[in-house]
Amino acid sequence: MRRFGILSFLPALLWACSGEPCYTDPQLSVERRVEDLLSRMSVEEKVAQVSAQLLFMDEFYEKRDYTKGHVRNVGHFLPDGGLPNDPKTVAERINEDTQKSMEASRWGIPVLQHGEALHGAQWGNATCFPQSIAMAATFDDDLYYRVGQVVAKELRAVGVRQVYAPVINITRDQRWGRGQESYGEDVLMNSRMGVAYVKALQEGGVVATPKHFVDNYGEGGHDSFAPLHSWREMREVYLEPFRACVQEGGARGIMSAYNSVDGIPCSANARLLTDILKKEWGFKGIVVSDYGAVEIIHGNQHMAASDDDALARSLEAGLDLQLANTSSGLLELVKSGKVSRKTLDEAVSRVLRIKFETGLFDQPLVNPEKAEELVRCPEHRELAYESAVKSMTLLKNNGILPLKGVRRIGLYGPAADVVTLGDYSGGRGGWKGEGAISPYEGLKQAFDGLVLLNPDPRSCDVLLFFPSILEEEGQDRSSFRLPSAHMSVREKTNAVIIADEQESRVKVDQEKMVRDLIATGKPVVVVLHNGAVIEITDWVDGAAAVLEAWYPGEQGGRAIADVLTGKRNPGGRLPFSWVRSIGQNPYYYSIKPSGRGYGYVENDGSPLYPFGYGLSYTTFEYSDFQLPQELPAGENLKVKVTVTNTGAVEGDEVVQLYAHDELACVARPLKELTAFKRITLAPGESREVELEVPYRQFALWDTDMVQRVEEGWFEIWLGRNADEKVTGGRVYVK
């Protein structure tokens, strides 16, 4: 039991005698306020602060326990039953909930309203940005930082102070259905994009909670399966983005994963939660479990005798907060000593620290009128458009794009007249924002009505096909082919859209549809909506062009139209390797050397499109590559190159720097992305670009599992993608 000397209570007693208690004084340090408030709380009150609640709309007000310290914000559920979810209403409802929580607390402690924000504030009618994998395709972490700033503003505007984002689980098996939520296969990409988003959220007064710690899928691409990675691979790959988000991004939250690592559930893994996260990395925030992850330790993993036993084990291992509805047995666990008072106090201190840091005690309520003015303002929607444009990735083009001089365009496929967003969009996945347009609507405006849905293809100059796939949380794939899709037909406009119950339904074979369109002899442009690989080898040779549009957010229809017409030039790059066949999975470019070879009977094992690949409507040349011969210990490597736009239109180039350790004490990847920068150049324009590689980027985990930089030669080169070298050299790293 924790013991306090009389001196530790003296400051609090002095404040109490003089009037207001210490913790109410915003001029004092956060640590002093936490210490004071903790000293006043009963065990019951402490338990309430590390308890959470999630209630659907139909039972929210009947079962809400306002003493609990965390709640899934009510705005997340307002769309249920057609309830309004405009910013003003959401802010008013969250204000009401926060006020009641303060009234239910003897010390006036406000509840921490939490939610999701994977690609926009997910409480309903907020700005919806492109999905995470699409933002990774921009290869622009500065742009992503600006996106994070907007998301933070829209969260704070309605009173949400913590979000369970970003997802920084590296996706190296495209069968995993949640790959769209990630930043792809590369360690650096996940780290840089994760840090950009976390920084923006934290600086905006919102607790970022990177997830899922650590790894989140296993063999076969199955979600929440136990991975088989060695601890060296965990350190080199899967833990690194989390370290970066904590130490460089300043993340104040972490969500533990459902799966186990080396036989120990992540939510009860002291090596992960305490030794690495809190002690080694110095993490001072709160660790929350994924929803229901603690109960899984008992019910699925069979490593605890009961849910309460699983909770005790998790808290003692370093978990601070159980989601979603905290076990009522926590108080008894503390009183019986199964959860120590010291453990409870440390967890409560972390929770209170977060509430003080985010200003929740000093400004617990928000202004609903200001929320209405801010959320989805023109500036925010324009950034969503810019992000969608920059994510567009051109995979193939025989010269048909940009579309010029066409008189009649036919649109086909289940995603042609849909605002395709991806998962975790809007309240409980149903985005209700107004003003978004589908690709059909965008193209119809761009071509002044010369675009028709499902006409006779023989009457058209060019055919556009918009397929869709099934993938999201709980939908892992065992096939990469385009699935048969249920669609519905709106009789008045003859528009094919994703069905709802009021419309007549049809089922189409998308593979046959695209082949039939190609068989007409008309040029076919395929516009993909997906977050992972699709097997396209059966028909890609017959397509005139392929544009990867991802899940482009609320402004995706406008962005697709502008790219297809040439108003904007595509400059996105693939954040994962596009394999030829599902049999190549798991696949990633930064493999370690093989003892024999890399191919199969059917092919040489290379991808159809490598990591970092993407085409443009213009061309670029590199010159004057500058690389030092030696890098002193502790210094960052600085590389310079001149890039020139040698084409006729403005365009974006992504400068990619790769490295390889020529001699090491342990096996090292054949190549690794070490830096990247996206630039925009006018026709004929040249610019000197400097890339900086942090010294720690050259480190390895040696035979004793100590991270250090091993002196020696590194090959350094610039590439248009992971498989195409442009220029390079060698540097001796001290």
Residue 19's pLDDT is what?
65
Local structure of 147: helix, strand or coil? helix
How far apart (Å, rounded) are the C-alpha atoms in residues 52 and 69?
Answer: 6
Task: Tell me what the mean pLDDT of segment 292-310 comes to.
Answer: 95
Q: Are residues 488 and 341 located together in one domain of the fold?
A: no
Tell whether 474 and 494 lie within a shared domain: yes
Peptide linkage before 586 cis (omega within 30 of 0): yes
Q: Is residue 675 one of the residues assigned to a domain?
A: yes
Q: Which of 661, 445, 459 is nearest to 557 (CA)?
A: 445
Q: Classify residue 605: in a domain, yes or no.
A: no
Cβ atoms < 10 Å from Cβ of 121 = 35
Hey, what amino acid is at 133? I
Question: Is 607 among the domain residues?
Answer: no
Lowest mean pLDDT among 15-24, 230-239, 328-337: 15-24
Mean pLDDT of 316-325: 95
**Is there a domain that residue 32 lies in?**
yes
Domain that residue 646 falls in? 620-733
Read off the CATH number of the domain in which 480 is found: 3.40.50.1700
Residues 6+ apart with CB under 8 A from 510: 413, 414, 467, 468, 482, 483, 484, 485
Same domain, 572 and 627: no
Confidence of residue 506 (pLDDT cuts 50, 70, 90): low
* CA dist., res. 689 & res. 323, Å (int): 46
Task: Tell me, yes or no, whether 18 lies in a domain.
Answer: no
Give how many domains the chain has, as a whole number.
3
Which tokens sit at 212?
Answer: 């899922």
Summarize pLDDT for 589-603 with one digit per residue, the tens.
Answer: 999 999 999 999 999
Rounded Cα–Cα distance for residues 46 and 345 (Å): 8
Grade residue 326 by pLDDT with cuts at 50, 70 and 90. Answer: confident
Tokens describing residue 403: 């579309």
362 and 394 inside one domain: no
> End of a domain among 346, 372, 398?
372
Residue for token digits 């091993």?
A: 710
- Which of 533, 567, 584 is a domain's end point? 584
Confidence of residue 492 (pLDDT cuts 50, 70, 90): very low
* Rounded percentage of the chain residues whose pLDDT exceeds 90: 89
Are 292 and 152 part of one and the same domain?
yes
Least confident range from 22-36, 327-341, 375-389, 474-488: namely 474-488
Q: Please give the Cα distance from 73 to 116 (Å, whole number).
A: 10
- 676: CATH: 2.60.40.10
We report the CATH number of the domain holding residue 237 as: 3.20.20.300
- Across the chain, what does the average pLDDT equal? 93
Tokens 């080396």 locate to 262
Q: Which of 7-11, 367-371, 428-432, 567-571 has the lowest mean pLDDT?
A: 7-11
**Single residue among 372, 405, 439 that ends a domain in this structure:** 372
pLDDT of residue 508: 85
Kindly report the number of other CB atoms within 10 A of residue 176's CB atom: 27
Among the residue ranges 30-34, 265-269, 599-603, the one predicted with the least confidence is 599-603
What tens digit of pLDDT does each residue of 699-728 get?
A: 999 999 999 999 999 999 999 999 999 999
Q: Which helix (H) or strand (E) holds 82?
A: none
Q: What is the pTM of this model?
A: 0.95
Report the distance separating Cα 90 and Cα 73, nearest Å: 9
Q: Which of these, 154, 281, 40, lies nearest to 554 by C-alpha position?
A: 154
Residue 368 sits in the same domain as residue 434:
no
Please list the residues that pair with 622 across neighbouring strands: 643
Give the pLDDT score at 428. Answer: 74
> What band does 487 get if pLDDT is binned at 50, 70 and 90?
low
Do 339 and 285 belong together in one domain? yes
Q: Is the model's pLDDT at 89 over the cut of 90?
A: yes
Domain co-membership, 433 together with 308: no
Output phi, psi for 490, to 5 deg.
Answer: -90, 115
Mean pLDDT, residues 345-373 taken together: 98
DSSP 537-603: TTTGGG-SEEEE--S--TTHHHHHHHHHHTSS------SS-B-SSGGG-S--SSPPPPSS-S--SSS
* Residue 225 counted as domain residue: yes
| Contact criterion met (CB below 8 Å) for 503 and 490 | yes
Q: What is the mean pLDDT of residues 369-385?
A: 97
pLDDT at 488 over 90: no
Domain identity same for 400 and 353: no
Q: Report the alpha-carbon angle 430-431-435, nearest 5.
A: 150
In the chain, the amino acid numbered 638 is K
**What is the DSSP code string of 455-470?**
--GGG-SEEEE--B--
Phi and psi torsions of 388, nearest 5°: -65, -45
* Residue 570 within a domain: yes
* Dihedral angle over CA of 574, 577, 581, 585, nearest 10: -140
Question: With bands split at pLDDT 50, 70 and 90, how would you rate the model's confidence at 494?
Answer: very low
377-387: average pLDDT: 98
Strands 485-490 and 504-508: antiparallel
Same structural domain for residues 293 and 330? yes
Contacts of 552 (CB under 8 A, 6+ apart): 130, 131, 134, 388, 391, 392, 420, 529, 559, 560
If residue 383 lies in a helix (H) or strand (E), which one and from where to where? Answer: helix 378-391
DSSP 409-433: EEEESTTTTS----SS-SBTTB---
Report residue 191: phi and psi, to 5°: -70, -50
211 in a structural domain: yes
> Which residues lie below 8 Å from residue 260, measured CB to CB, with a gap of 6+?
226, 266, 269, 301
Q: Residue 601's Cα: distance from chain center in Å?
A: 36
Strand ranges in 635-709 using DSSP code E only, listed in sequence order: 637-645, 651-661, 672-681, 686-693, 699-701, 707-709
Give CA–CA dist 269/251, Å, rounded. 20
The string of DSSP letters for 434-487 reads SS---HHHHHHHHTTT-EEES--GGG-SEEEE--B---BTTB--S--SPPPEEE
Considering the domain architecture, whether residues 52 and 109 belong to the same structural domain is answered as yes
Residues 104 and 149 in one domain: yes
Instruction: Summarize pLDDT for 167-219 with one digit per residue, the tens.
Output: 999 999 999 999 999 999 999 999 999 999 999 999 999 999 999 999 999 98
Q: Which amino acid is at 543?
A: A
Neighbours of 80 (CB within 10 A): 15
